[in-house]
Structure 1
């Protein structure tokens, strides 16, 4: 169902009653829900626990000037097939800001660091034999099979967390080399025979994915998106979408209102929250909760059924860490790099270059490190100063220009796994804990299942985890469910009732746990 169809159904359905909905969370899911609910004649309140609006859309600007360089610490790409996201880009008048996002493996002048050997991506095939002796020493396989397996290993190693890199290594040794040898690989090599079309290969050969470990099979779907040639970005920053949504919403967005308890009653929901250390309670007819389950499971929950509690406590989150450098100049452009990403290795993984131009007088930026999984967790455990120094040291092996005095003007980073208001980068469906894909389908449907008049939305409630598309789609589905819901007896108040309780007293009495800052 496309966006227009879903919203038309809401408008045409016989739901004349105007409702009052409290939305928990001012990320993309909460903002889209508020925008559409108001358009349909409903009243909303928006409560945000953190001091900022936008959730995991976070554009960091190195300066206050309109032309200041920026880096995306959160969402940075929009796949061209994500129609929900593009619908709101258009609705917010941002079509003219859409431009191509040059992604990993698209820039042949970018660098790779494999086992300490640094070379250009375009030179990779000539060095694979030296680097991947385990693949090339088995004479049972053709040169095409060996080269294809080497590229596959490189792509997986560049993007995936450690457990999946190990999984591919085991799969190649045990049976995947045999499977590649059986298949006709010729159509998936470039004209010069040195690079591969992984997109076409995976789409045309489902039997290959079926023979991978289940976690690796499901992660390959993510790799197809990340290596797509059809990724888009918003020139000027992804936070423009957030800003336009906020300006289109009438309701005030109340920041610094941390939810510490949710009680589901038969006809309403009670929300406990803190403001300046004092506990307040709001009685709500309807609540749309977009709080990540990694955070929600750390607060007091009452009136939830066992299946829902199991979903909240067992939804798997993957850490993600980003480190961005504000540089004096875009020195990589002198090396022919106009975007895309290098593979810097050593726990730093991907280094992205901007594919939009900044005013050279303001310098430029590079996303020096983008990691997920175990690599992100290691970086996240460092202090900010240690993290920045480590990343600079590692990336300097590829780009020694970073050590030039004054080249790095400023640094910004976020460890989403340790960030208090997310406690994770995103939900994942390729964990080893997921024995098959149907379990994941059940998982996200269960995550989205309401509890009386408490509804749920967010990327964790969708089949598009980690993408804006998932957050938006789940918000629209929850919106329809809220509008179509009929209460047997309408509760009478939405106004907060203040309890003079200090936050420390609350923690001592209720033994609440809070995510690490």
Structure 2
């Protein structure tokens, strides 16, 4: 007999878990706090630029196995982001220019130093704490692994030039969505391990390829394959779980009984829900303190077709921008990332224009937009970036015989900052519940 399973959240993790549970013979019901599906992926024209933009997750790759499988399943077409003509970067408050290839070359040696230890710490990249569990791994390696989790990503780079350090700092403030001084170096090493320890492949996987029809071209099709109801604008206030079932309390006070529950809420918003029994200790610590991601993603429209890439220095609110779309009206839409969402207003065109002109006075901003995920009560964060000492918590959590399963990209074994990781955990959650049902 199939179980009745409640799923909290209609992002990729929740939708995949629902589809797979139904395939395995279970009945599902999804509860989504927002008035839309997709979670932190959101392809929309509801923005001030009036253009279909990815307000959240965007980039995909054939070496991200879970999202690639879904792309093949739903025949999603991939397109490439532009290769830029001109690059800008700061060194000691001075703007320098060159090509994208020259910029990549300047990052090569220092990033190799950042990635140092990636092969030793992550021999199996989709099993990130393998070295801590394997009895054959020397204790000395395990201690260095733990120490790396407490070490900032740019520590130990004194032998490099000011230019190299400035570029690496810009790169990781954009990638970590926060201060590089507070970022666990293990995440960078893990990203390297997932990219064959090559910077070029890492860049391709995280910022080169996207979907022609946007992320909605996949998440809408997954949702269409789910037969159970998807309740939008339906937040959950409480979850009671045990070894016989689980109870969800909806925000309007009614309760629903299930054989099992999958919760896919990002850690930044898990505090909106009470759990009994409470969450695992390391998960609760993340809920209380948040991940290291304090940043933002912004879309910027400039006059003319400007094919550019730029890094901002430590005092620059936007750590990185690059051209993405060349519009028929002669304008260009660029995407940008920064470490602190409080340092600018992404809808203030004059403010964004002033910041962009620090790279090139001839760049004229005519529009900008964002979704402030940090202030979104249903996310409270952008993508998962572990601060110092947090990497070990960013992994799958097995609650044993409890009928509660946590999913979402926060808890992925592989790309836990990306759609690929969210899909991975959706499969993992469905398999866990199916296993519990078979044993019941």
Corresponding residue of 1:158:
170
Count, aligned residues: 372
Distance 1:227 1:488, change over 3 A: closer
Corresponding residue of 2:340:
376
- The runs of 5 or more residues in structure 2 that have no matched partner are 107-156, 193-198
Distance 1:350 1:56, change over 3 A: same
Distance 1:151 1:220, change over 3 A: farther
Corresponding residue of 2:311:
343
SS of corresponding position for 2:58: coil
Q: For each residue in 1:29-70, what CA deviation from the matched residue of structure 2 results, as whole angstroms up to 9, or x when unmatched?
A: 0111122222333221111011221111122326899xx743
* Distance in 2 of aligned mates of 1:378 and 1:226: 32
1:426 pairs with one of 383, 408, 416:
383
Normalized against structure 2, the TM-score is what? 0.74
Q: For each residue in 1:169-215, what CA deviation from the matched residue of structure 2 results, as whole angstroms up to 9, or x when unmatched?
A: xxxxxxxxxxxxxxxxxxxxxxxxxxxxxxxxxxxxxxxxxxxxx93
Greater shift after overlay, 85-94 or 290-299? 290-299
Q: CA deviation at 1:455?
A: 1.0
Corresponding residue of 1:456:
406
Corresponding residue of 1:196:
none
Q: CA deviation at 1:443?
A: 4.9
Q: Is the 8 A contact 1:79 1:225 kept in 2?
A: no
* Distance in 1 of aligned mates of 2:58 and 2:383: 14
Distance 1:301 1:241, change over 3 A: same
CA RMSD in angstroms comes to 3.4
Q: CA deviation at 1:113?
A: 3.3
Q: Which has the higher helix share?
A: 1
Larger-gyration structure (1/2): 1
Corresponding residue of 2:18:
34
2:72 pairs with one of 52, 65, 90:
90
1:270 pairs with one of 247, 260, 267:
247
Q: For each residue in 1:349-381, what CA deviation from the matched residue of structure 2 results, as whole angstroms up to 9, or x when unmatched?
A: 111211x554x04854222x312xxx32433xx
Greater shift after overlay, 24-33 or 219-228? 219-228
Q: Is the 8 A contact 2:239 2:274 kept in 1?
A: yes
Corresponding residue of 1:508:
none
SS of corresponding position for 1:477: helix
Q: CA deviation at 1:486?
A: 3.1
Q: For each residue in 1:282-314, what CA deviation from the matched residue of structure 2 results, as whole angstroms up to 9, or x when unmatched?
A: 111111110112212232221236647645635
* Distance in 2 of aligned mates of 1:444 and 1:147: 33
Q: CA deviation at 1:76?
A: 1.5
Superposed, 1:475-494 pairs within 5 Å as 475-486=426-437
Corresponding residue of 1:21:
5
Q: Is the 8 A contact 1:50 1:257 kept in 2?
A: yes
Q: Is the 8 A contact 1:71 1:366 kept in 2?
A: no
Q: Is the 8 A contact 1:344 1:395 kept in 2?
A: no
Distance 1:147 1:315, change over 3 A: closer
* Distance in 1 of aligned mates of 2:180 and 2:98: 20
